[in-house]
Structure 1
Amino acid sequence: MINLRRFRSIRVHLNASQMLDAGRLQEEPAWYRAVSSIPPTTSLVRTTPPQLRERKNPWTKNHRPSRMYMPQKIEYPEDKLRTQFYRDHPWELARPRILVENDGKDYLKYDWSKMPQKGKPLDGESVVQRQLWLREHIPDMSAERAYDVARKEFYDLRLQEDIERRIAIEEARACGATFGKTYLELGIEMEEKYLEQWRKDTIAFILKRRQRQSTFKVIEFTPASAEEGFIPASEAEEGEGGETAGAEKAATATPYPLFT
């Protein structure tokens, strides 16, 4: 049986030395001096580095993560003013805004001692900057008072713009200009179209349901004059098309579709 111990890496250099002494090797192998200077390790067991135990619940109620390395929140004085204004005037956010600037320093060219600015449309930012100017340059000016003053100036200018726009439309129409339908008129037309289609569908559904009910109705032979609600032939001729009229009446009296 072959002894496997002699093939261990730590005995390779020793076996080669014994073979050289016994004359079985005529010359030193190329690796002989290198292995002699840097011998292999004596232990063949590879040690694993210690593993740190992970916590199942890293943070509890009594132990919160440190905020030392958390970036601080950047806040400006204008943030609260913008939040207050757009909370009171949500429809101002729907107006288009121009965000392009010439040199990035357009705000330095504005004089907020007055609300209207040259080259800047009226918007919520005008109210914010006007409110800041009032609080900085007028003594004993509270935040609520500055907001009321800036807001009233904003309302006056917005009303002036609406009047100018209305007058411009009237002048254009007086000179022969024609304008299309407004969004309100288009919306009313679409609503009327949908209601008309709903009325037709409801009438068709009522007629179809009545026909289905009459198909499965059990007919018993009784004298026509004895039936309750008997209508003579003369009155029936006068009410020609009464079924359709009754369906239309039921459809108009029903506030919601009868589809179930």
Structure 2
Amino acid sequence: MALSQGSKPLRVYKETTQLLRLGILGKEPPWYQVVASVPPSTILIRTTPVEFNLLPQDGPDTIGKNVKKSKRFFRPRNIQYPEDDLRKKFFADHPWELARPRILVEDGGNDSLNYDWSKLQQPGRALDGESVIQRQMWLMEEENGNLSQSAAYDLARKEFYRLRMRSDIERRIAAEEARSVGAFFGKTHLQVGLELEEKALLAWKVKAQEAVARRQQRIEAMANPGSIDTEVGDEDGTTDSPSLASVPEARTSPAEPSNSQGL
């Protein structure tokens, strides 16, 4: 049975009841008793919540009158967690930590609860900014509430710096030991970047020299317009152009022997 446009959900139950009474339907649908006990709502839009910020002198008659609805009524609420402010502070002070590779796969939403944050370094977990944040949260909550947010941040940050310097020293020592036994490492990212920068600077230098030379030629041409023609003539070995009288003689002299032979 199809519903017409604009029909109410409760009308389905009434029409089904009428069809059962007339014998058109042989048995009740599975949803019939459920709809009878819990009727569907006929309002298909969300209602405005009750305003609780009224003044004490306002009576019940004033509720709903001259109340402006918020433009953000149909938008979801902004969910704020305590760690959000701590993350904003840490990554504002350490923006390059976002460039480090991170593992985004999680077993669940509360993976941080599976670790003991009484220490910053956790087995099986890479040291990153989230470790500092969870360590700061633990210091603020577990240390009898004596540490403020800034004090806990300073303590967790110092532990983070100490572990990072230790890992850098271990990596440098491992590289030196590998070189001592004959290992060969390629160019570092810094060396590759410097080489690319040198190539770009050399190419720019050549283009800049060509542009300066062309500009200098234009300036000289505008300053001495006749100097270019005279210089070209001197290089060819000709000083002056031939006179008009000599041109016919040069043309007729080769033809005289041929005429004499013909006669």
Q: TM-score, normalised by structure 2?
A: 0.54
Paired residue secondary structure (1:152): helix
Partner of 1:99: 104
Paired residue secondary structure (2:78): coil
Partner of 1:154: 160
- Asked whether the 8 Å contact 2:136–2:156 carries over to 1, the reply is yes
Letter in 2 for 1:149: L
Deviations 1:130-154 (A, max 9, x none): 1111111112111111111111101
Partner of 1:142: 148
Task: Flag the 1:76–1:207 CA change in 2: closer, same or farther, 3 A.
Answer: closer
Paired residue secondary structure (2:103): coil
Letter in 2 for 1:173: R
How far apart in 2 are the matches of 1:67 and 1:203?
Answer: 60
1:171 and 2:177 correspond? yes
Shift of 1:128: 0.9
How far apart in 2 are the matches of 1:110 and 1:209?
Answer: 69
Task: Flag the 1:162–1:133 CA change in 2: closer, same or farther, 3 A.
Answer: same
How far apart in 2 are the matches of 1:67 and 1:214?
Answer: 69
Partner of 1:121: 126
Shift of 1:91: 0.9
Deviations 1:202-259 (A, max 9, x none): 2223333333444451559xxxxxxxxxxxxxxxxxxxxxxxxxxxxxxxxxxxxxxx
How far apart in 2 are the matches of 1:214 and 1:83?
Answer: 61
In structure 1, stretches of 5+ residues that fail to align are 1-61, 221-260
Letter in 1 for 2:147: M
Task: Flag the 1:186–1:203 CA change in 2: closer, same or farther, 3 A.
Answer: same
Count of residue correspondences: 159
Higher RCO (CA 8 Å, separation ≥ 6 residues): 1
Paired residue secondary structure (1:122): coil
Q: Quick one: which of 83, 89, 93 aligns to 1:88? A: 93
Letter in 2 for 1:153: E
- RMSD between aligned alpha carbons? 2.4
Q: Quick one: which of 66, 71, 74 aligns to 2:76? A: 71
Equivalence map 1:1-260=2 (5 Å): 63-65=68-70, 70-102=75-107, 106-139=111-144, 140-216=146-222, 217-218=224-225
Paired residue secondary structure (2:80): coil
In structure 2, stretches of 5+ residues that fail to align are 1-66, 228-263
Shift of 1:187: 1.8
Paired residue secondary structure (2:83): helix
Shift of 1:76: 1.4
Letter in 2 for 1:133: W
Task: Flag the 1:70–1:219 CA change in 2: closer, same or farther, 3 A.
Answer: closer
- Asked whether the 8 Å contact 2:112–2:134 carries over to 1, the reply is no
Paired residue secondary structure (1:195): helix
